[in-house]
């Protein structure tokens, strides 16, 4: 039996479109730094070891796609520079970073444990990425989720099966 997903085009896939922006390794590292309060180019470069041109390109992609915005600043006696701050579109990526961190903590952490926790500012409890449905069912298991065509789905042109 052929998977039903083969009936639908992936030409307008929003996962593919998102990965065209976020899929390069350094992009997620840059976002990690900004979410951790590192906003300045030189601080990011020194902390991560990202080559200057790569960091320039990644920041440019994130700004051009409305995920980060430039905020000018000037240290006394220095030329004006930019900090990079999250936009609302950028803040919406935080659950993705929490999910990636949790996956890394589960499968890739050193024997001493994870190097970072994400906690609720209000009470100090750990924050987790979970699947929930619009009807309020919490912490849904991935095997209990099924993809279905959405309103923008486009039926694939049928081609002969070889």
Please report whether residue 82 resides in a domain: yes
| 129-154 average pLDDT score | 94
Please report whether residue 52 resides in a domain: yes
Please report whether residue 100 resides in a domain: no
Distance separating alpha carbons of residues 143 and 149, to the nearest angstrom? 18
Please report whether residue 114 resides in a domain: no
CATH number reported for the structural domain that contains residue 3 in this entry? 1.10.10.10
pTM: 0.86
pLDDT value of residue 150? 92
pLDDT value of residue 82? 96
Please report whether residue 148 resides in a domain: no
Quick: pLDDT tens for 16-55. 999 999 999 999 999 999 999 999 999 999 999 999 999 9
pLDDT value of residue 162? 47
pLDDT value of residue 107? 97
Quick: pLDDT tens for 78-127. 999 999 999 999 999 999 999 999 999 999 999 999 999 999 999 999 99
- Give the residue numbers spanning the domain of 83: 1-90
Q: Kindly give, in sequence order, each residue whose CB lies less than 8 Å from that of residue 90, ignoring residues fewer than 6 positions away.
A: 31, 34, 62, 66, 67, 68
Give me the number of domains the chain comprises: 1
Residue 55, judged by CB atoms within 10 A of its CB (0-12, 13-18, 19+), counts as buried
Element (H, E) at 69: strand 68-73
- pLDDT band (50, 70, 90) for residue 158: low
Per-residue pLDDT at 161 exceeds 70:
no
């Amino acid at each position: 039996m052929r998977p039903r997903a083969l009936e639908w085009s992936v030409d307008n896939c929003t996962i593919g479109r998102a990965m065209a922006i976020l899929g390069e390794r350094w992009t997620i590292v840059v976002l990690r730094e900004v979410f951790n309060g590192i906003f300045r180019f030189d601080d990011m470069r020194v902390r991560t070891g990202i080559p200057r041109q790569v960091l320039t390109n990644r920041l440019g992609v994130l700004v051009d796609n409305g995920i980060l915005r430039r905020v000018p600043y000037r240290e006394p006696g220095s030329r004006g520079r930019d900090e990079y701050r999250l936009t609302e579109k950028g803040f919406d990526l935080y659950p993705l970073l929490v999910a990636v961190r949790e996956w890394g903590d589960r499968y890739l952490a050193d024997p001493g444990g994870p190097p970072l926790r994400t906690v609720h500012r209000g009470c100090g409890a750990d924050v987790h990425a979970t699947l929930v449905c619009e009807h309020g069912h919490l912490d849904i298991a991935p095997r209990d989720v099924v993809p279905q065509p959405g309103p923008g789905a486009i039926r694939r042109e049928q081609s002969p099966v070889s």
